[in-house]
Amino acid sequence: MSTLPKYATQGATHRRTEGAILEGTKTLISKFGLSNVSMIEIADASEVSRATLYNHYRDKSAVTAALITAEVEHMIELANSAGTPADALEKLSLYISSDPALAAMRIHDKAVLTEILSHAEHPLYLEIARCLFTAIKSAAGTGIAMRWLMGQAMQPLTPAQSREQAELLVDRTLF
């Protein structure tokens, strides 16, 4: 007999299912772009039934919102684990520049990507800004760093450019 309460195992199953759905969604976006993906395809790629998918998310917008939230949380973890402000900016730059879903969206969903990036009042935007401010300790520098990172969603950098520009931002602009 299990020593875990019934609800603990249900919660773990719920999180695994949502993780599989988000992973399947990101894989599809990486291949086809956001606008070319349906809920049926998300269910298939996630290896869940359509009923299960709809039990977790009411529509593709809800799945997309959850995926963006998960991505932002991951980016905040990356920045928080960095040693220096330049390291934090470099990690974020590398993540954004190498993300396959963003690469596909640059091809298939430019208008959607531009729309997503234009919401400076969105709570997730503000969470990233707070995280950067914690690392950078400068309001002006945080604004510049946010714009620099958003630009990379549309125009990615190489790893060498990411490090060089992160150091330049810290050395010349932020302090």
**Residue 7: which residues within 8 A CB-CB, separation 6 or more?**
none
Q: Give the pLDDT band of residue 3 (cuts 50, 70, 90).
A: low
Question: 105, 33 in Cβ contact below 8 A?
Answer: yes
Q: Report d(CA 82, CA 90) in Å as an integer.
A: 9
Q: pLDDT at position 63, please? A: 97
Question: 62, 31 in Cβ contact below 8 A?
Answer: no
Look at 136 and 65; give whichever has higher pLDDT: 65
Could you tell me the domains of the chain?
6-174 (1.10.357.10)
Q: Give the gyration radius of the chain's Cα atoms.
A: 18
pLDDT digits over 44-71, tens only?
999 999 999 999 999 999 999 999 999 9
DSSP state string for 138-166: -HHHHHHHHHHHHHHHHS---HHHHHHHH
